[in-house]
Amino acid sequence: MNRNIVIGNAWPYANSSLHLGHIAGLISGDILARYYRLTGDNVMFVSGSDCHGTPITERARKEKTSPQKIAEHYDEEFKELFKKINFSYDLYSHTYSEYHKEKVQQLFKKLYDNGYIYEKIEPQCFCEKCNKFLADREIVLNCPECGEETKGDQCDNCLHVPTQEELIGGNCIVCGSKTIQKDNKILYLKLSAFQKDIEDHTQKVNHEWRINAKNETEKYLKQGLLDRAVTRDIDWGVEIPIPGYEDKRMYVWIDAVLGYLTNTMKVCEEKGLNWEDFWKEGHNNKIYMCHGKDNIVFHSIILNALLLGQKENYHLVDTIVSTEYLNYNDQKFSKSKKIGITALEALEIYPIDSLRFHLVNNGPEKKDTNFTPEDFIATHNSELLNKFGNLVNRTLKFKGLEKIKIGTINPEIKELIEKIYEEVGNLIERLEFREATNKIMNLVETANKYYDSQEPWKQIKENEQEFVNTIFTCSNIIANLSNLFEPIMPETTQKIRNYLDLEKPIWKPIYLDKEINVSDKNIEALFERIK
């Protein structure tokens, strides 16, 4: 029975260009989506631009323009980037779409009707000079946990999320004035009500999670979940659908995380599918969330709480795919300090599939890693050019070869091919993408060793049938590599399928069953040397 798989990539803030670290954190989603499609499962791969909240208004203030224009600019830039790097989204949207707003408001209202959102009058940070209540991100303070200066939404250093009480006494980010306390009417999410249910669910599924996700989620649960404010006093965002709160807006952590659900609804409406097959219990479904480690709690706790609060038998998030950080030359990416390059700039310099491969093979899967141009070039030349590319080139472009004839595949090689799909598939489902890539590269190395041992340049002169068998065996390896590498290097694998007249990729062994005329193919090298 086919599974219904939801894969959600974190919604990036539409306030600045994305760098390679962002791509390293999100490529996991595309690998999973492509893999599950190959297995025959029903996949819903969704994401979008997080266009509301103070990061956008802050950028608009600095550039003396509107939040809408900032959001539109970066949303278009993100769409261009994800298209170029071949992320196979079923829908990449944005939070200012009317469809998204309407659905989020309905879900919010359901939380309110079910008693999980309540009113509270409490002191909030107020700037007398600006004459406004301040959102958390509009406040600068020293983190109560680590002491580092940070904005009030989340500490960049230790990831602590300050409470409303901890924010009082910080400074206004606009004018620098010390904030004061002033009573304000606020709506709160009764997050504490979901403590037991989220604890139980986490214990049931977290054996699949990355260690950072386990630790961060368990830390919050051990401390005890605290109710969180869900309204803020700004004029950019999703309007609150509750009488008396029309002048307030929804916190983006509600708005954005519910986007996985609203995007699924949108795709299903357009394709005539039932969205409940992906998001309700009893439909053989599984839900993945892919993001950097600074987004863990919003997906492991917040999103699950919002789903539980609907009281409609929602399937909760199963798997948290949370990466560590990718640095550039041992420093954090920083546009202001001119450290690193944007992802779009990288795609202008480096081959797309080579970059995808490198970010998987050398990415921050379990620990912070470092990107350098030198390391990238080394990976490209040694792994892709000298090993994979060389195998394809010397097999399919063997001097004088006109046709790949049907021969007898080496039995040891065939045994390897029969086993590797399950092995690599298990690694991908366990989120061990680097090890999965290494396993595939082991097959490439085995193929090259076999090629060298057979010495086809001698066989073609001395024993034609052995030559046919060698080329046939290597060609079948290459055909299967076009399946195995599909989740990682889709452009490269498409080239191979064109060379070998192969149909759509599939996650099971395939074998050539007809002669392939390669003399009339414009077979080019898969990779060029980078100096």
3-state secondary structure of 280: strand
How far apart CA 282 and CA 285 sit, in angstroms, is: 8
The residue written with tokens 């009113």 in the block is 119
SS3 320: strand
Question: What pLDDT, on the 0 to 100 scale, is given for residue 262?
Answer: 98
Side by side, the strands of the sheet bearing 228-229 are 132-133, 117-127, 180-189, 228-229
Please list the helix, strand and coil fractions of the chain in percent, rounded to the nearest 5, in that order: 50, 15, 35
Position 62 scores a pLDDT of 86
Name residue 432's amino acid.
E
Angstrom distance (rounded) from CA 330 to CA 111:
45
End-to-end Cα, the chain, rounded Å: 49
pLDDT at site 426: 97
pLDDT band at 159 (very low <50, low <70, confident <90, very high): confident
Residue 40 has phi, psi (to 5 degrees) of 95, 5
Residue 335 reports pLDDT greater than 80: no
Query: What's the 3-state SS for 107-137?
Result: HHHHHHHCCCEEEEEEEEEEECCCCEECCHH
Nearest alpha-carbon partner for 365 in 445, 265, 434:
434
Question: Among 179-183, 331-335, 501-505, where is mean pLDDT lowest?
Answer: 331-335
Q: How many CB atoms lie within 10 A of CB 488?
A: 24
- Give the pLDDT score at 58: 83
pLDDT at 54: 82
**β-strand 285-292 against 319-323: which pairing, if any?**
parallel
Q: How many residues does the structure list for the chain?
A: 531
Structure pTM?
A: 0.93
What is the number of alpha carbons within 13 Å of residue 95 lying toward its C-beta?
A: 32
- Tell me how far apart the alpha carbons of residues 510 and 257 are, in angstroms, rounded to a whole number: 40
What CA–CA distance (Å, rounded) separates 446 from 406? 21
Q: CA torsion sign, 332 to 333 to 337 to 338? A: positive
Instruction: Evaluate if residue 134 carries a pLDDT over 80.
Output: yes
Distance CA 359, CA 24 (A): 6
The predicted pLDDT at position 108 comes to 98
pLDDT of residue 340: 87
What value does the mean pLDDT take over residues 18-24?
Answer: 95
Kindly list the structural domains of the chain, giving each domain's residue range(s) and its CATH number in brackets, ordered by start.
4-108+253-328 (3.40.50.620), 116-232 (2.170.220.10), 372-517 (1.10.730.10)
Burial 58-68 (b: 16+ CB within 10 A, else e): bbbeeeeeebe
What pLDDT does 526 receive?
96
Concatenate the DSSP letters of all residues of 127-168 into one string: ETTTTEE--GGGEEEE-TTT--EEETT--TTT-----HHHHT
Instruction: Report yes or no: 3 and 284 within 8 Å, Cβ to Cβ.
Output: yes
Nearest-angstrom CA–CA distance, 259 and 280: 16
Overall average pLDDT of the 474-481 stretch: 98
Residue 491: how many CB atoms within 10 A of its CB? 12
> Whole-angstrom Cα distance, residue 196 to residue 225?
10
Structural contact between residues 18 and 324, judged by C-beta atoms closer than 8 angstroms:
no
